[in-house]
């Protein structure tokens, strides 16, 4: 099962084709609303609230907890507000990705130069880095050393926006 | 500074600046080159006896290296405006920056300075990490050395 590139889905509207054959095909986050949409076929059949769909995900929390254990009293450690925001962001991401191939993979977590929480995932030459501070969440995607040709960046305030990036990171195709 | 010069970068232990996976592969984090002034510090190998332990400082730290020419060839650091239009191009250079207690100290610096440093600098970090990973570690991470010994 793979996250698809086709959201946002809107109630009553179809979503993109899926290779999943089960009757309940996919969950699609609704950007900016904090909901998860349940689809059957290409038709939206319901919404699940975060309290139903996104319980505590220890994998998301453990990545932060592992970092805090390593960082100790490090003066470069991100603020508590950033840590809390990162914990919530990762918890949501872990919940969204848990059902999809390759599933949730805990990031490397470290501190950036400006007090950001830095989350990193690797897959061969492909790498995704997420910078999360008290206000913003931004990513850099890279697949080579050329800053102009082998990288792009943007914002991912809502973890659901990571779907395309996650698909790209774990795609088998050579083109990027 | 000559293009052929080797530059050492200390990778701190205990900050998750790298990840060692179960098979022993090591992934270098972008934060290994992070710097509050947007100018990552390096040591010139030829001015510290080609001894990476000079840069290591603490036994638990690791050391990676890059070649000066490779860094200078990151010559397309581009700043775009919100509409994606190119507003500035930077050349990346390595400049001597000797300290009283470290004559080998140098910095990786953009010319001209970044106007919007955050986004551009983050891409530079990705490039530096990739260049460092193309070379053998000068001093392996502590977790690996500890297991070997």
Check residues A42 and A89 and name the one with the higher pLDDT.
A89
User: Binning pLDDT at 50, 70 and 90, where does residue B75 land?
Assistant: low
**What is the layout of strands, in order, in the sheet containing A117-123?**
A108-111, A117-123, A126-132, A137-142, A151-155
Identify which of A45-49, A61-65, A122-126 has the greatest average pLDDT. Answer: A122-126
Instruction: State residue A18's pLDDT score.
Output: 35
What phi and psi values does residue A135 have, to the nearest 5 degrees? -120, -40
Smallest CA–CA distance from B39 into chain A, residue: A113
CB of B64 closer than 8 Å to CB of B28: yes
Sort out which chain B residues have CB atoms less than 8 A from A153's CB and list them: 119, 122-123
Q: Where are the domains of chain A?
A: 1-50, 54-169
Per-residue model confidence as pLDDT tens digits over A104-155: 889 999 999 999 999 999 999 999 999 999 999 999 999 999 888 899 999 9
User: Binning pLDDT at 50, 70 and 90, where does residue A102 land?
Assistant: confident
Q: Give the minimum alpha-carbon distance from A146 to chain B in angstroms, rounded to a whole number.
A: 7
**What is the layout of strands, in order, in the sheet containing B6-11?**
B62-67, B6-11, B41-44, B105-111, B86-96, B77-80
ipTM of the shown complex: 0.90
User: Binning pLDDT at 50, 70 and 90, where does residue B116 land?
Assistant: low
Smallest CA–CA distance from A148 into chain B, residue: B76
Share of chain B above pLDDT 90, in %: 70
Sort out which chain A residues have CB atoms less than 8 A from B74's CB and list them: 145, 147
Q: Where are the domains of chain B?
A: 6-148
Using the predicted structure, report yes or no on whether residue A56 has a pLDDT greater than 60: no
Torsion of CA B50, B51, B54, B55, to 10 degrees: 70
Instruction: State residue B77's pLDDT score.
Output: 64
Sort out which chain B residues have CB atoms less than 8 A from A78's CB and list them: none
Using the predicted structure, report yes or no on whether residue A17 has a pLDDT greater than 70: no
User: Binning pLDDT at 50, 70 and 90, where does residue B21 land?
Assistant: confident
CB of A83 closer than 8 Å to CB of A68: yes
């Amino acid at each position: 099962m793979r996250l698809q590139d086709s959201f946002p889905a809107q109630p009553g509207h179809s979503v993109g084709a899926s290779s999943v054959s089960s009757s309940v095909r996919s969950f699609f986050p609704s950007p900016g609303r904090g909901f998860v949409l349940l689809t059957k076929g290409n038709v939206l059949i319901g919404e699940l609230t975060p309290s139903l769909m996104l319980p505590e995900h220890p994998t998301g929390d453990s990545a932060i907890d592992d970092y805090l254990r390593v960082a100790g009293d490090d003066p470069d450690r991100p603020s508590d507000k950033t840590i809390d925001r990162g914990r919530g962001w990762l918890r949501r991401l872990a919940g969204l990705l848990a059902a999809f191939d390759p599933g949730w993979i805990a990031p490397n977590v470290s501190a950036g130069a400006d007090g950001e929480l830095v989350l990193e995932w690797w897959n061969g030459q492909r790498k995704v880095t997420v910078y999360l501070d008290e206000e913003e969440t931004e990513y850099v995607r890279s697949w080579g050393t050329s800053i102009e040709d082998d990288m792009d960046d943007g914002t991912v305030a809502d973890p659901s926006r990571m779907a395309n990036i996650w698909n790209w990171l774990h795609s088998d195709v050579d083109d990027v | 500074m000559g293009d052929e010069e080797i530059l050492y970068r200390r990778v701190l232990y205990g900050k998750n600046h790298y990840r060692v996976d179960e098979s022993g592969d090591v992934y270098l984090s972008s934060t290994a080159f992070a710097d509050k002034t947007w100018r990552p510090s390096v040591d010139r190998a030829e001015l510290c006896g080609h001894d990476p332990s000079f840069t290591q400082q603490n036994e638990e730290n690791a050391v990676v290296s890059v070649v000066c020419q490779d860094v200078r060839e990151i010559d397309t650091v581009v700043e775009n405006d919100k509409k994606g239009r190119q507003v500035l191009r930077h050349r990346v250079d390595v400049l001597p920056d000797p300290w009283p207690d470290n004559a080998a100290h140098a910095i990786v610096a953009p010319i001209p300075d970044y106007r919007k440093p955050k986004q551009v600098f983050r891409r530079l970090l990705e490039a530096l990490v990739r260049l460092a990973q193309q070379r053998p570690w000068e001093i392996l991470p502590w977790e690996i050395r500890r297991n070997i010994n």
